[in-house]
Amino acid sequence: MGFGTTEFHVFRPSERITGPYLFNLLRAPYVRKAGATKMQGAAGQRRVPADFFAALQVPLPPLAEQKRIAGILDAADALRAKRREALAELDTLLQSTFLDMFGDPVTNPMGWEERTLGELARNSFRNGLSPSTQGTIDGEVLTLSAITRGRFDFAARKRARFDKQPSPLQKLSTDTFLICRGNGNRQLVGIGVYPDRSSSRICFPDTMIGVAVGLDIIAPAYLQSVWCTSRVRRQIERGARTTNGIHKVNQGLLSSIVFPVPPADLQLHFTAVAESVGQQEARHRAHLAELDTLFASLQSRAFSGDL
């Protein structure tokens, strides 16, 4: 059996080029970047045309050299994959620890008291401040990807100008739980994380909602973990409204989200575990960044004859 589709271009190795070499060539940054400039079609349906690949200049060293190059790139990429697997295992470990300590929030088998986010937040909800094309006040603002990747990403920010001075309550702070206010992906709307640092120069945009929760009642590590559970996600996705393809939540909906709140001492114990896991994750991410840099360098040298 076979299949036909316009979603894929099919390439096969031949007597002049090996499959692993061809694979590594086609995913090289310079090829992908050039292909992106040639994409055609309507928004959401854009594709790289076959003409781009037909005209692509392909360096063709001898087959033995192709195998050597592909072997080096594959080995480097395997190291990156192992580091990503280690990060995934740490994430699984934290989730397992959460369930062992607190039970599944859906059934709340340990009978913890249940509270709404509104009760815990004490009317501290506020929208961020988005840049203005007419603005005269310089600063920086987070982008949505700073909070929609399952962890806070400080690099996801940009320079911006605002038409008014951001309020201190709209500044980046480790005490503010940031929630995605709207997104085209239903699974990302309502995602929430705590920043890992504060800054008086950086603010969060109007596409996020900030919440300051009473730390005497709920620990940030616990809130961030319970917020990822299916019980909270179901409430968010059920209450989200859609406008022009964008799924949105508001402060009212977020205030009504209900979840179990265990005793403070258990939350603090979980916080200690989360901090330990976080430290290990930071080391793995730093090593992964080094491997990514190495891999990019090897890719650049591989197809310029310098490897």
Both structure tokens of 30: 């310079």
Could you tell me if residue 81 is inside a domain?
A: no
Could you tell me if residue 155 is inside a domain?
A: yes
CB burial readout 164-173, b (16+ within 10 A) else e = eebeeebbbb
Domain containing 194 equals 113-261
pLDDT in tens, 6-53: 678 888 888 899 999 999 999 999 999 999 998 888 766 788 888 998
Of 43-47, 98-102, 248-252, 288-292, the least confident: 43-47
Question: Residue 140 and residue 160: Cα distance in Å, rounded?
Answer: 5
Could you tell me if residue 201 is inside a domain?
A: yes
Give the pLDDT score at 150: 82
pLDDT in tens, 46-62: 888 889 988 999 999 99
Question: Residue 238 and residue 188: Cα distance in Å, rounded?
Answer: 13
Domain count, the chain: 1
Could you tell me if residue 53 is inside a domain?
A: no
- The residues near 90 (Cβ < 8 Å, ≥ 6 apart) are 277, 280, 281, 284
Percent of the chain whose pLDDT exceeds 70: 97
Give the pLDDT score at 6: 67
0.85 exceeded by pTM: no
Beta bridge partners of 177: 211
Could you tell me if residue 280 is inside a domain?
A: no
Question: Residue 198 and residue 202: Cα distance in Å, rounded?
Answer: 8
The type of residue at 26 is L
Could you tell me if residue 79 is inside a domain?
A: no
pLDDT in tens, 202-244: 999 999 999 999 888 899 999 999 999 999 999 999 999 998 8
Could you tell me if residue 306 is inside a domain?
A: no
CATH number of the domain enclosing 207: 3.90.220.20
Asked if the model's pLDDT at residue 2 lies above 80, the reply is no
Mean pLDDT of the chain: 92
Could you tell me if residue 2 is inside a domain?
A: no
